[in-house]
Structure 1
Amino acid sequence: MTVIDNFGHTYNELVAEINMLEARMNDLLTERRFLLKSMNSTAPKGMGAVDYSKDRVQSNFVPYTLDRIVERMNKIDTMIQQVDEQLKAKRETLSKLDSILAQMDGLEYKVAFMRDKLNMKLHEIADKLGYSYDHIRRVSSRIQKMPHRCHIQHKISSVN
């Protein structure tokens, strides 16, 4: 296994982690929106007196109590902050790996970068680097393909 294969494996894992963290963040934000709507549905309606000692059940919907909603929202806010910090760190690492890949010397690195990051065709890479198409095709076939997501530029700042 070459260095670029290890790099590709590490890169793929990092991209997968970012995808999972983004999905988790979306889930937390969706739950938070649901809880905010729940707050509105548990509020008393109308000007009459309300008996707070009894749960109000309407159409099989049992509302959360306000204290449970606030407690859960506090937990969600903490989790959102943690996931956001993890996402920033992972995106920063991905950005560093992108810049390292862009600065690499060696034909395999250049082919991998141009093919997977710049989305160039093999004949374009061959022309740009001054090699035959057949040689670039052989080099390319030895290199593990990076995920489509690698084409997206991320803004981040340190390698862990």
Structure 2
Amino acid sequence: MNILSTYNDTLTEIQMIDLRIKSLEMEHEILWKEVNRKPTSIMERALNRMAAICNEVESLALIQKEKQKALDEMDKKIDEFQSIYYKVAYMRDVKGLSLVSIGLELGYSYEYIRKISMKVPRTRRVKALL
């Protein structure tokens, strides 16, 4: 189930980029507030740092957008899986559904889904940070 690991890794990367963007935006806001109270020499360094922050946020946002696009494509492709094993693993490990819910959604008994689930190794589930 390497595919699901790749999916989870991509999701984690997107979340980490989002955290970095938020951190940079907070730093930018703090510098903006401080720039009016500092002497000119410090103000110039602060303005340079603020410009660098803006550039980094712009780059990270672009990377995040591309990774999100890739994640959306993975979602579509995973939904196309025909194998019950992939479907159960995806619904269990990525969507976080219970085996009962998976059985109801796929139209199989809990016992059958449980047997399938036991045959499929688990991948770590990434929790949303947002």
Category of TM-score, reference length = shorter chain = 0.7 to 0.9
| Same amino acid, percent of matched pairs | 30
What is the CA RMSD across the aligned residues, in angstroms?
2.4
Q: Which runs of 5+ in 2 are unaligned?
A: none
Indicate if the aligned counterparts of 2:31 and 2:50 stay in contact, CA closer than 8 A: yes
- 3-state SS of the aligned residue for 1:149? coil
Do residues 111 (structure 1) and 88 (structure 2) align?
yes
Give runs of aligned pairs for residues 102-141 of structure 1, distance below 5 A.
Answer: 102-116=79-93, 118-141=95-118
1:74 deviates by 1.0
1:71 corresponding residue in structure 2: 48
Indicate if the aligned counterparts of 2:12 and 2:126 stay in contact, CA closer than 8 A: no
**Aligned residue type for 2:59:** Q
Indicate if the aligned counterparts of 1:111 and 1:140 stay in contact, CA closer than 8 A: yes
- 3-state SS of the aligned residue for 2:11? helix
Indicate if the aligned counterparts of 1:25 and 1:84 stay in contact, CA closer than 8 A: yes
1:117 deviates by 5.1
**Alignment size in residue pairs:** 128
Do residues 29 (structure 1) and 29 (structure 2) align?
no
- 2: CA distance, partners of 1:88 / 1:128: 31
TM-score normalized by the length of structure 2 = 0.82
TM-score normalized by the length of structure 1 = 0.68
Do residues 147 (structure 1) and 101 (structure 2) align?
no
Q: Which protein is richer in helix relative to its size?
A: 2
What are the Cα deviations for residues 10-67 of structure 1, in whole angstroms up to 9, with x where unaligned? 1121122112211111111011011101112227xxxxxxxx7xxxxxxxxxxx6221
Q: Which has the larger radius of gyration?
A: 1
Do residues 86 (structure 1) and 82 (structure 2) align?
no
**Aligned residue type for 2:127:** R
Do residues 42 (structure 1) and 38 (structure 2) align?
yes
Q: Which runs of 5+ in 1 are unaligned?
A: 44-51, 53-63, 153-160
Cα distance change on mapping 1:128 and 1:11 into 2, 3 Å? closer
What are the Cα deviations for residues 66-85 of structure 1, in whole angstroms up to 9, with x where unaligned? 21111111111110100100
